[in-house]
Amino acid sequence: MYTQSFNVQEGAAAVVPAPAANAPSAAQQRFDAKVSADTKIEPQDWMPEAYRKTLIRQISQHAHSEIVGMLPEGNWISRAPSLKRKAILIAKVQDEGGHGLYLYSAAETLGVSRDQMLEALHSGKAKYSSIFNYPTLNWADVGVIGWLVDGAAIMNQIPLCRCSYGPYARAMIRVCKEESFHQRQGYEALLALMRGSKEQQAMVQDAVNRWWWKCLAMFGPPDADSPHSAQAMHWGIKRISNDDLRQKFIDATVPQAQLLGITLPDPDLKWNEERQHYDYGAIDWDEFWSTVNGNGPCNKERLATRVKAHDEGQWVRDAALAYAHKQQHRTQKEAA
């Protein structure tokens, strides 16, 4: 800022020309320059209102996905087949809760309150990932969630570590490290089942059949039908498009499925030599939108469980606030 004022050429007219109509403001120019130079935008920086709103939307949806995502696997903590599997699952579900907290904190830096975000989730206004509205019918589902759901989540979230908004990018670095452990534990649990009985192998295949297509839809609608992608990519929030991430996920997952010894439920899944990618069949987008819009098999159950947990935690929030007030009162008394 100061350098600009010192950079006036000798003899240059001292009069600053009036900005042309619709010319970007100085603040907008600084923002654009930071985004093009790949410098992070921080909470105290000026940012366009639409950028702020997009981030609040995406980060809060992401946070909601993490805390709703605790529920399908949480259902299996009491039924895990061994102490080792139970300990791993408890740690994983706790991690998802922690991811929700980092993400809510990142969204709060944009001027929205935790209460506002939770109200939007509990009233059904806010979206969260479609994938968490499907049931976990058997133990193999828990392994498949780790392998495929966390696998898809990492594929989508690694580029977000380079997101232009600093607090979101930094939160994603830790989230991705933990998701990587989640993916591996899921794959390892499935390997153990595949080395077991015919019934266990059939359970894995059945779970993969039910989850595969839903995981492909996690990446969001095709690029041509994604209203937010172009602007989000222009702002450096999203770095890779929905379709490109989906393709990367499929290409990475096919060899893992082969090693596991299961079949991915898509007769059109074939290596395309020319494209150097796997071709794949059509995703049922009607089913996806119906689930996103509240009509999936578990939407109502998931929201009811969240609201109940929130209501039952009221005493914890009250106690923490009462303690904070007591501390504040004591400090003021000592200072007086």
Pick the stretch among 32-40, 75-83, 111-119, 221-229 that binds ligand FAQ (CB under 6 A).
221-229
Contact between 136 and ligand FAQ by CB under 6 A: the answer reads no
Residue 94, number of CB atoms within 10 A of its CB: 13
Contact between 164 and ligand FAQ by CB under 6 A: the answer reads no
Compute the distance between CA of residue 174 and CA of residue 177 in angstroms, rounded to an integer. Answer: 5
Of 130, 136, 133, the closest CA to residue 153 belongs to 130
Compute the distance between CA of residue 247 and CA of residue 219 in angstroms, rounded to an integer. Answer: 10
Nearer to ligand FAQ, 47 or 144 (CB): 144
Residue 311, number of CB atoms within 10 A of its CB: 10
Asked whether 158 and 176 are in contact (CB, 8 A), the reply is yes
Using the rule CB under 6 A, which residue among 122, 170, 184, 228 binds ligand FAQ?
228
Contact between 167 and ligand FAQ by CB under 6 A: the answer reads no
Contact between 174 and ligand FAQ by CB under 6 A: the answer reads no
Site string for ligand FAQ, 91-130 (x = CB under 6 A): -----x------------------------------x-xx
Compute the distance between CA of residue 21 and CA of residue 283 in angstroms, rounded to an integer. Answer: 46
Using the rule CB under 6 A, which residue among 74, 143, 220, 236 binds ligand FAQ?
220
Using the rule CB under 6 A, which residue among 41, 47, 56, 153 binds ligand FAQ?
153
Contact between 88 and ligand FAQ by CB under 6 A: the answer reads no
Nearer to ligand FAQ, 127 or 310 (CB): 127
Using the rule CB under 6 A, which residue among 60, 61, 183, 201 binds ligand FAQ?
61
Asked whether 60 and 107 are in contact (CB, 8 A), the reply is yes
Compute the distance between CA of residue 264 and CA of residue 205 in angstroms, rounded to an integer. Answer: 8
How is residue 294 annotated by DSSP?
I
Contact between 154 and ligand FAQ by CB under 6 A: the answer reads no
Of 297, 283, 305, the closest CA to residue 141 belongs to 297
Using the rule CB under 6 A, which residue among 34, 62, 85, 246 binds ligand FAQ?
62
Nearer to ligand FAQ, 201 or 229 (CB): 229
**AA identity, residue 159:** P
Compute the distance between CA of residue 171 and CA of residue 321 in angstroms, rounded to an integer. Answer: 26
Nearer to ligand FAQ, 52 or 57 (CB): 57
Contact between 241 and ligand FAQ by CB under 6 A: the answer reads no
Nearer to ligand FAQ, 155 or 260 (CB): 155
Could you tell me which residues come within 8 angstroms of residue 272 by beta carbon, excluding any fewer than 6 positions away? 278, 279
**AA identity, residue 79:** R
The neighbouring-strand residues paired with 165 are 41
Contact between 226 and ligand FAQ by CB under 6 A: the answer reads yes
The two tokens of residue 54 are 């997009």
Contact between 143 and ligand FAQ by CB under 6 A: the answer reads no
Which residues sit at the interface with ligand FAQ, rule CB under 6 A? 57-58, 61-62, 65-66, 69, 96, 127, 129-130, 145, 149-150, 153, 156-157, 217-221, 226-229, 232, 238, 242, 292
